[in-house]
Amino acid sequence: MISVRVANKLDSAAALEDLRKSILARRDPNKTCVTVCNSTGCHTLGGEKVAEAFRQEMARHNLDVKVDMRVTGCHGFCERGPIVVIKPQNIFYTRVTAKDVPDIVSETLRNGKPVERLLYQDPSTGERIVHEGDVPFYKKQKRLIFGNNGNINPNIIEDYVTVGGYSALGKALAMSPDDIISEVKKSGLRGRGGAGFPTGLKWESTRRAHGDIKYVICNCDEGDPGAFMDRSLMEGNPQSVLEGMIIGAYAIGAHEGYIYIRNEYPLAVRNASIAIQQAEEFGLLGKDILGSGFDFTVEISRGGGAFVCGESTALMASLEGEVGEPKAKYVHTSERGLWDRPTNLNNVETWANVPLIINNGADWYSRMGTAGSKGTKLFALVGKINNTGLVEVPMGITLREIIYDIGGGILGGKKFKAVQTGGPSGGCIPESQLDLPVDFDELVKAGSMMGSGAMIIMDEDNCMVDIAKYFISFLEEESCGKCVPCREGIKRMREVLTDITEGRGTEGDIELLEHLSLVMRDASLCALGSTAPNPVASTIRYFRDEYEAHIKDKRCPAGVCKGLIHYYILDKCPGCGLCVKACPQQAITFVAKKQPVILDQSKCIQCGACFDACRLSSIKVE
Amino acid sequence: MDIKVKETKGQIAAILESYHHDKKWLISILQDIQGQHHYLPREALVEVSEGLKIPLSQVYSVATFFKAFSLKPRGEHTVTCCMGTACHVRGAVKVLEKLERDLGVNRGDTTANGKYTLETVNCVGACALGPIVIVDGEHSGQMTTDKVKPLLEKYS
C-alpha cells in the first residue's frame, strides 16, 4: 500500500478530520485485505516469510492490485502464530507457513472459500471456527487497547488515522487542561505499571508543581520476565501511546517527553521511532500542534537491561545518563524528578488508555470494571497453559475465567497448581483463590499484586520452593545494592532457599524467611526491595506443606529440586539405548535389546538428559 | 597507532557527534559502541569519558551496572538461553545446564577457542515457544536437552 503524505502539516483539528475523510474515501472497505501478524512472537515463528510468500504469490496471480496486504502488530494469540486474517470477512488462519500461502491465495482470495485445515479447531468440540471473534480465546476478551493492532500497519500513520486516531487529541486541545485532568480523575484510571496509583491525581500534582520546565515519560522498560504486553503495544500501535502522551503533556504543561524502551526490544524501538517521525511530519508533534499553540517533542531513550529501572526514580537517573539507582521519595517525582524538574511518568498501557477516555468520556470508561479498578487490563498469559498469548480483559473478570475460558486450561491435561501474578514483586495464588476478581486491591489482599500483567501458570510438576528461589535469585542479580535490607535480605533469603532445595534445610528456616520478609518490607528504600519477599511469603502462605516436605522429609514433591530427586528406569523400558547416548556421566548401561537399561545412582547428576531423550516414558522422577 | 585503533577512534567520534556530546545519552552511546564491537573496549570508554567530559569512573559505573554491556570480548557466536519465568517453569534450567556442559563454559563466559559466548537473558517475550535458545539472533523454541547438540552443531 502506498502511504499518502500530507503536503503541509495539519494546522487544526478540522484539517485532521478532512484528512481522515479523504483517506477513508480512497480506501474501499470491501476490498479484500490480507493481514499478516509480524510481531516478535509471530516473527520468531516465520511471519516475515509468510508475508513474503504472499507478496510473490499474489503477484504471480495478478492479485496485487485487487487485494491489499498489510503487515500488522500482535493479535495476542501467540500460541497459534503466525496469524493471518483475511478481511473484510475476518477469516482467521493460525499456524500459517509459507507453504500454505498458495492454497490461501487460490482458495480464499480467488474463490472466497476458507482453507479448512488452517482454521482454528475448538479442542473441546473439534469444530473448525472461521471468524476471529468466534474463537473461544477471544470471546471473553474486551480488546479496547489491543483491538486495533490487527487492523493497522504500525509504520503507517494513515492507518491509525483511519481507525479514529488523533481524534482524541483534537478534542483535548479544545478543552482546558483542568477539564482533561478532571475527566481522567473521574474515569478512575489507575497506573498500569503495577502500583495502580490514580493517573489523574499524578497528573494534577505535576501540573500544580512549581517550575516552567516539566517532563512526561513513558515507561516501556518492562523488566518482568514473562511479560510482553507493553512491547506488543509499542510494536503494534505506537501512535496510540504517543497520542496519550501528547494529551497528558498538554494537560500537565510539559513540552518535552521521553520514551524509555528496553534495548532488548529492537522492533519496539524501531516502530516507536518511525511513529514519532511520522507524527512530526503530520504536525501532531513538534511546534504548534494542530494549530493550538502547544509545543511538544518526544525522544527515545534505550534502557540498559536493568530490572530496577522500572522503578521511576531509577529510570529517571538512567535517563540522565547515570547508574539506575533509586532515590528515597521524600519528595515526589511529580515535584522533583528528571533533572530535578516536575516529572510525570506513566506506563505504556496507561498512556494508551487516555485517548479512549477523552473520546468516549469518563462515564463510559468507569462503567467497566470493579469499584476500585476501572477499564480493561492486558495480561501476558504464559507458562503451563494451552493458549499462551496476550489477553485484554475487563477488570473484575475472575482468574478462573482467564485461565480456563480464555487460556483453554492447563497444558497436557495436568493439574493446576498456582498462578503467579505481578512478576518478581508479586505472589503465587492457589486454586482455592481462583474465583478472585482481577482488581488492584483484591490481588494485594491475596498476597500478590496486579503488577504490569505477567500471569504465569504453574502445574503439578512445578515446585513452589523452586519458584520462590527462582524469583529471589532473579532479584539478587537485579538489586542495585544501594540499601542494606534489600541487598543483604535477598542474599540471605537465596541462601536459605538454596539450602532447603538442596536438602540442607533445618527446623526454623520457614520462620527465618518470614522474619526476613517483614524487615525487607518495612526497611527497603524502594519497591524492588519492599516487594521482593512477596514470592516467598505467598508460597509459604499457600504451600507451606511443600516447604515442610523439603525440610523435614528431604523430598521435593514435584520432582524438581536436583538435590532431592532421583531418576528411575521403569520395568517397561525396552532398552532402545537413547538414554545411554544422552547421559553425560555414562551412568546408564545397556544390557540387551528388550531389556531395561541399568542406571547407576552413584554416578547420576540428575541432569534430566535421559528423561528428555526417552521417547517411551520409561523413566520416572521422584 | 595501528590502523584498527585509528578506525575505532573515528567510529567513536562519529557516535559521540551524533549525540551532540550530551552526557544524558551515555547509555545510548555505549549501546551503539557495543553494537559495533560486540563489547566495550577500554580505549573506547576512555574516549567516551574525554568526549563527554565526565570522569572515567562514571563511564565504568554505568558500563558495569547495566546487564546489556560486556567489558570482555565476545565469541564468534552468541548463544543466549532465555531464563524468563515461562521458560523456567517449562524446564529452561536443564537446557542451560546442558549448554554449559556441552560448551564447557559457565553462563557469561566465552569458550577457549573464541567460538561461542554463553549468555542468559531474563525474558525475550516469545513465551509461547519456551524454553528458548537464541543463537546469533535466530530463535529456537520448545528446547529440550536432546535438542542442544544438534543446534550447536549447526554453528560449529
Q: What is the mean pLDDT of residues A384-390?
A: 92
Task: For residue A408, give the C-alpha cell.
Answer: 483453554
Chain A nearest-CA distance from B129, in A, is 8
Nearest to B86 among A223, A231, A456 (CB): A456
How confident is the model at residue A504, as a pLDDT? 95
Give mean pLDDT, residues A368-381.
94
In this structure, what C-alpha cell is assigned to residue B90?
Answer: 517449562
Chains A and B form CB pairs within 8 A to the count of 143
Q: Mean per-residue pLDDT for A363-375? A: 95
Instruction: Please give the pLDDT value at position A603.
Output: 93
CA separation (Å) from A449 to A142, A428, A471, A534?
21, 10, 15, 9
pLDDT tens readout for residues A95-146: 999 999 999 999 999 998 999 999 999 888 889 999 988 999 999 999 999 9
**Per the CB < 8 Å rule, is A78 touching B127?**
yes
pLDDT tier for residue A195 given thresholds of 50, 70 and 90: confident
Given this model, what pLDDT does residue B7 score?
66
User: Residue A486: what residue type?
Assistant: C
| Residue B120 touches partner A, C-beta closer than 8 Å | no
Tens of pLDDT, residue by residue over B111-124, are 999 999 999 988 88
Cα A564 to Cα A462, A501, A503, A550, A560: the distances in Å are 14, 7, 6, 8, 8
pLDDT at B5: 59
CB contact under 8 A, A323 and B62: yes
Å from A13 to nearest chain B CA?
Answer: 34
* pLDDT for position B1: 43
Nearest residue to A539 via CA among A510, A512, A519: A510
Residue contact A323–B61, C-beta within 8 A: yes
Whether residues B65 and A228 touch (CB distance < 8 A) is answered with no
B89 interfaces chain A, CB cutoff of 8 Å: yes
- If pLDDT is split at 50, 70 and 90, which confidence band does A316 have? very high
Shortest CA distance from A82: residue in chain B:
B128
Which pLDDT tens digit goes with each residue over A570-610?
A: 999 999 999 999 998 999 999 988 899 999 999 999 888 89
Distance (Å, whole) CA A294 – CA A286: 9
Q: What percent of chain B has pLDDT over 90?
A: 65
C-alpha to C-alpha distance for A178 and A203, rounded to whole angstroms:
10
> Which pLDDT does position A1 carry in this prediction?
42
What residues of chain A, 479 to 538, have a C-beta less than 8 Å from chain B?
A: 480
- Give the residue-averaged pLDDT of A315-327: 92
Q: Is B112 on the interface with A (CB under 8 A)?
A: no
What pLDDT shows up at residue A135?
A: 92
Q: Is B143 within 8 Å of chain A by CB? A: no
Give the one of A81, A225, A584 whose C-beta lies nearest to B122's C-beta: A225
The rounded distance, in Å, linking the Cα atoms of A361 and A176 is 15
Give whole-number Cα distances, B36 to A13, A399, B41, in Å.
44, 46, 11
Quote the cell numbers at residue A574.
Answer: 525396552
Q: Do B24 and A321 touch (CB under 8 A)?
A: yes
Report the percentage of chain A scoring pLDDT > 70: 99
Q: Which of A1, A2, A20 is nearest to A10 (CA)?
A: A20
Residues 176-205 of A with CB under 8 A from B: none
pLDDT cut 90: percent of chain A above it: 79
Cβ atoms of residues A91 and A85 within 8 Å: yes
**Separation of alpha carbons A225 and B123, rounded Å:** 5
CB A387 within 8 A of CB A381: yes
Q: Which residues of A touch B141 (CB under 8 A)?
A: 44-45
Q: What is the DSSP string of A336-382?
A: S-GGGS-EEEEEHHHHHHHHHHHHH-HHHHHTSB-SS-BSEEEEEEE
A61 to chain B, closest Cα gap in Å:
32
Q: Which of B15, B21, B26, B27 to mutate to test the interface with A (most CBs of A within 10 A)?
A: B27
- Interatomic CA distance for residues A272 and A268, integer angstroms: 6
| Three-state SS at A539 | helix
Evaluated on CA atoms A301, A307, A309, A312, the torsion sign reads positive
Lowest mean pLDDT among A319-333, A372-386, A506-520: A319-333
Rounded Cα–Cα distance for residues A525 and A274 (Å): 38
CB A362 within 8 A of CB A183: yes
C-alpha cell of residue A429: 495464588
Q: Residue A220 gets which letter from DSSP?
A: E
What's residue A500's pLDDT? 96
Q: Is B149 on the interface with A (CB under 8 A)?
A: no
Average pLDDT over residues A377-392: 93
Task: With a cut of 50, say whether residue B54 has pLDDT above it.
Answer: yes
- Say whether pLDDT at A158 is over 90: yes
Q: Which of A313-317, A374-378, B70-74 is the least confident region? A: B70-74
Q: How far apart are CA A560 and CA B15, in angstroms?
A: 48
For residue B78, count CB atoms less than 10 angstroms from its CB and return exposed for 0-12, middle for 13-18, buried for 19 or more.
middle
CB within 8 Å: A228 and B123:
yes
Scanning the structure block, which residue is given the C-alpha cell 584498527? B4
| pLDDT for the residue A490 | 96
Q: Whole-number mean pLDDT of chain A?
A: 93
Give me the helices (H) in A422-526, please. 440-445, 464-478, 484-501, 509-523
Contacts with B146 from chain A: Cβ below 8 Å: 582, 609, 612-613
Whether residue B85 and residue A420 make contact (CB cut-off 8 A), yes or no, is yes
Contact B141/A at CB under 8 A: yes
Smallest CA–CA separation between A409 and chain B, in Å? 14
Considering only the beta carbons, identify the residue of A78, A306, A584 that sits closest to B65.
A306
Query: Quick one: CA dihedral A270, A275, A276, A277, positive or negative?
Result: positive
* pLDDT greater than 80 at residue A7: no
Does residue A233 register a pLDDT over 50?
yes
- At A40-81, the pLDDT tens digits run 888 888 899 999 999 999 999 998 889 999 999 999 998 888
Flag whether residue A310 sits within 8 Å of chain B, measured between CB atoms.
no
Q: For B86, which residue in chain A has the nearest alpha carbon?
A: A383
Q: Is B85's CB within 8 Å of A607's CB?
A: no
pTM score: 0.91
d(CA A305, CA A79): 26
For an interface test with B, give the residue of A259, A323, A560, A616 to mutate (most B CBs within 10 A): A323
Partner-chain contact A40 B30, CB within 8 Å: no
CA gap A264, A223 in Å, rounded: 10
Q: What is the DSSP string of B84-110?
A: -HHHHHTTHHHHHHHHHHHHT--TT-B
C-alpha cell at A207: 501540573
What pLDDT score was predicted for residue A127? 92
Across the interface, whether the CB atoms of A420 and B69 are under 8 A apart is answered no
Residue A2 has a pLDDT of 42
pLDDT average, residue stretch A216-241:
92
Asked whether the predicted pLDDT for residue A6 surpasses 70, the reply is: no
Distance from CA of A301 to the nearest CA of B (A): 7
Contact B86 A383 (CB under 8 A): yes
ipTM: 0.87
A608 interfaces chain B, CB cutoff of 8 Å: yes
For A235-284, how does the pLDDT look when each residue is reduced to its tens digit (9 = 90+)?
999 999 999 999 999 999 999 999 999 888 888 999 999 999 999 999 99
Q: How far apart, in whole angstroms, are the C-alpha atoms of residue A62 and residue A67?
A: 9
